[in-house]
A and B are shown apart, each in its own frame.
Chain A
């Protein structure tokens, strides 16, 4: 996905194209605004989805994010990739949303029967159901994290962004971001220990990656 490339890898042509497109947007040209929205909508939506989970307010969030982008467009200094800058604005929207306690994310309500799935030998349809339930339980645990930790964890672990980019998007240092991801991971692992569905979803056989991300020195 070229538009996700950090600034160093952005081709000059794309870079100049972004600059010119933004200039056109700043004059209020609707065609340019539409073009910018279309170029970035899928990526921004995917990132918001991974951070917030399945959400009934996703339409509003995506709209808010882009409105923020256009209101702040004059602040884009053109020294960073436009896509990274847009992602940063979108993540600020997500952060604000998460910070509003009254608007807790509505995770899918788990059925009591789902827990019994862990005892079953899963077939194809059951595996899909298991995955769906695993995702729901994962987001239920993520709901308990602080917004900053949730952003850091989801961007790095679920959205697959490098730590440096994650830190840039959430406006923190790499060290602080790494620490937040580590804490979130511990929290999820603790929840998985008591929840076979979540544990199954997380696939404990891949637990080695947790060691790779161990925070330098002792855990705080």
Chain B
């Protein structure tokens, strides 16, 4: 009985096909609109309209308004410290720098960006409730601050970064991974989060130095945000404030401080984490919030990074990962597949899609090199969203599949959580 190819398909005539096509396209577009998928376009239209109105307003203002004041907010302030320790008060933060430290301060989008080139600085930042955060950028590490006191040591500007928090909490974003560092804790490029017990006396000394320096170390007229570009402010610490273009370090990456709810490296922390709770003093809230503590522990656990293809654009990176996954097999395909999930979660904030990819990964690469990392990423996504049964089930699976992994203890705590 050979029947393949023996059933002659009656073709649909073009008119019928055209009618079907018309109805299908119409239905599909409606479905997309119902899902709110066209919202970005509507928003784009509104944004364009608003931009047109604003442009027209600015044009009118430029034609009729008096010339702007000559003293303008500088675009960038370069700071070079002398052999003496220096303190820079920028109004909403005080920056105490060690000898030889180099950094630049800008105020993009209402936030504050301190881009370090080398050395060690200590910052005391007032609470930034409702305002974009202050970000200290040291190489590929971002320290995001919403109100705290801490030090950042970037050494010679080429090596490790050491962050020590003395008050409040900061978020450290390094290679797309975010870690919350609370008071009494420190974070290092190699070593991650460490407890205060491991804190060395040097950090405390640095803190003391900053306290001794105090606001008096800053000359009364040395507010750099009000200084004219190019003006040199005579200070005891010989702080040189120069206008003009920011140092190259600011151009290495997107030199914009993100909104308070998002990390500067493009990592989305998700809508479930509003800015205000971050601004609240976390130290006091922790003992009564075991879930928050658990979430912090989950966040502090490193995520196996995505395959580095040198793609700055996340969507392009995903496309290239797909290409690898389709073209290659074995370890390369496994790594590319896992990378799709990492980028979707950490850079695009598409957690639902990241979970789908991870589910597919776990089915497709049960012996894959990234299998454990994929299981942990599932736990991370599910449990940072909600500590529910699904999250606990994922954690249970992780404990049983990767019981000897460093994150297994956290997963175990999740399974026991209420």
Chain A interfacial positions (CB closer than 8 Å to B): 7, 10-12, 15-16, 19-20, 25-28, 30, 33-34, 37-38, 41, 45-46, 49-50, 54, 58-59, 62-63, 66-67, 70-71, 74-75, 77-79, 131, 135, 138, 157-160, 185, 188-189, 202-204, 206-207, 209-210
Contact of A54 among B2, B10, B19 (CB under 8 A): B10
* CB of B3 within 8 Å of the partner chain: yes
Contact of B37 among A10, A19, A27, A203 (CB under 8 A): A27
* CB of B38 within 8 Å of the partner chain: yes
How many residues of chain B get a CB closer than 8 Å to chain A's CBs?
Answer: 40
* Docked CA distance A135–B3 (Å): 10
Q: In the assembled complex, which residues on chain A have CB atoms less than 8 Å from the CB atom of B4?
A: 157-160
Contact of B27 among A12, A70, A158 (CB under 8 A): A70
The answer to whether residues A63 and B20 also contact, given A27-B37, A159-B4 and a CB cut-off of 8 A, is yes
> In the complex, are the beta carbons of A77 and B356 less than 8 A apart?
yes
The digit string for B348-372, where 1 denotes a CB below 8 A from any CB of A, is 0000000011001000100000000
* Docked CA distance A15–B325 (Å): 10
Contact residues, B1-42 vs A (CB, 8 A): 1-7, 9-10, 12, 16-17, 19-21, 23-25, 27-29, 31-33, 35, 37-38, 40-41
* Docked CA distance A217–B301 (Å): 53
* CB of B195 within 8 Å of the partner chain: no
Q: In the assembled complex, which residues on chain A have CB atoms less than 8 Å from the CB atom of B35?
A: 74
> In the complex, are the beta carbons of A33 and B24 less than 8 A apart?
yes
The answer to whether residues A25 and B326 also contact, given A58-B12, A202-B3 and a CB cut-off of 8 A, is no
> In the complex, are the beta carbons of A33 and B322 less than 8 A apart?
no
* CB of B398 within 8 Å of the partner chain: no
The answer to whether residues A26 and B32 also contact, given A34-B21, A49-B7, A209-B1 and a CB cut-off of 8 A, is yes
> In the complex, are the beta carbons of A37 and B21 less than 8 A apart?
yes
Q: In the assembled complex, which residues on chain A have CB atoms less than 8 Å from the CB atom of B5?
A: 160
* Docked CA distance A34–B17 (Å): 12
Q: In the assembled complex, which residues on chain A have CB atoms less than 8 Å from the CB atom of B24?
A: 33, 37, 63, 66-67, 70
> In the complex, are the beta carbons of B9 and A45 less than 8 A apart?
yes
Q: In the assembled complex, which residues on chain A have CB atoms less than 8 Å from the CB atom of B2?
A: 203, 206, 209
> In the complex, are the beta carbons of A70 and B28 less than 8 A apart?
yes
* Docked CA distance A207–B21 (Å): 41
27 A-B pairs with CB atoms under 8 Å apart are A7-B326, A16-B322, A16-B323, A25-B32, A27-B41, A28-B33, A30-B29, A41-B17, A41-B20, A59-B16, A62-B12, A62-B20, A66-B24, A67-B24, A70-B28, A70-B32, A71-B28, A74-B35, A77-B357, A131-B6, A135-B7, A157-B1, A158-B3, A158-B4, A158-B6, A209-B1, A210-B1
The smallest C-beta distance from B318 to any residue of chain A, in angstroms, reads 8
> In the complex, are the beta carbons of B25 and A30 less than 8 A apart?
yes
* CB of B319 within 8 Å of the partner chain: yes
> In the complex, are the beta carbons of A70 and B31 less than 8 A apart?
yes
Contact of B31 among A71, A203, A210 (CB under 8 A): A71
> In the complex, are the beta carbons of A77 and B360 less than 8 A apart?
yes
Q: In the assembled complex, which residues on chain B have CB atoms less than 8 Å from the CB atom of A28?
A: 28-29, 32-33, 37-38, 41
Q: In the assembled complex, which residues on chain A have CB atoms less than 8 Å from the CB atom of B20?
A: 41, 59, 62-63, 66
* CB of B337 within 8 Å of the partner chain: yes
* CB of B327 within 8 Å of the partner chain: yes
The smallest C-beta distance from B61 to any residue of chain A, in angstroms, reads 36
Contact residues, B321-342 vs A (CB, 8 A): 322-323, 325-327, 337
The smallest C-beta distance from A214 to any residue of chain B, in angstroms, reads 13
The smallest C-beta distance from B375 to any residue of chain A, in angstroms, reads 17
> In the complex, are the beta carbons of B9 and A46 less than 8 A apart?
yes
> In the complex, are the beta carbons of B25 and A34 less than 8 A apart?
yes
* Docked CA distance A132–B319 (Å): 48
Contact of B23 among A19, A26, A63 (CB under 8 A): A63
> In the complex, are the beta carbons of B25 and A33 less than 8 A apart?
yes
Please give 12 more A-B residue pairs, beta carbons under 8 A apart, in addition to A27-B40, A79-B325, A158-B7: A7-B326, A28-B29, A50-B9, A54-B10, A62-B20, A67-B23, A67-B24, A70-B27, A75-B356, A79-B337, A131-B6, A202-B1
Q: In the assembled complex, which residues on chain A have CB atoms less than 8 Å from the CB atom of B17?
A: 41
User: Of all chain A residues, which has the CB nearest B25?
Assistant: A33
Q: In the assembled complex, which residues on chain A have CB atoms less than 8 Å from the CB atom of B25?
A: 30, 33-34, 37
The smallest C-beta distance from B351 to any residue of chain A, in angstroms, reads 14
The smallest C-beta distance from A65 to any residue of chain B, in angstroms, reads 9
> In the complex, are the beta carbons of A20 and B37 less than 8 A apart?
no
* Docked CA distance A51–B381 (Å): 42
Contact of B9 among A19, A49, A75, A210 (CB under 8 A): A49
* Docked CA distance A19–B323 (Å): 10
> In the complex, are the beta carbons of A49 and B10 less than 8 A apart?
yes
Q: In the assembled complex, which residues on chain A have CB atoms less than 8 Å from the CB atom of B28?
A: 25, 28, 33, 66-67, 70-71
Contact of B29 among A33, A54, A158 (CB under 8 A): A33
* Docked CA distance A189–B104 (Å): 84
Q: Which 3 A-B pairs give the minimum distances between C-beta atoms?
A: A28-B32, A70-B28, A160-B4
> In the complex, are the beta carbons of B3 and A157 less than 8 A apart?
yes
* Docked CA distance A17–B322 (Å): 11
User: Of all chain B residues, which has the CB nearest A157?
Assistant: B3
Q: In the assembled complex, which residues on chain B have CB atoms less than 8 Å from the CB atom of A77?
A: 356-357, 360
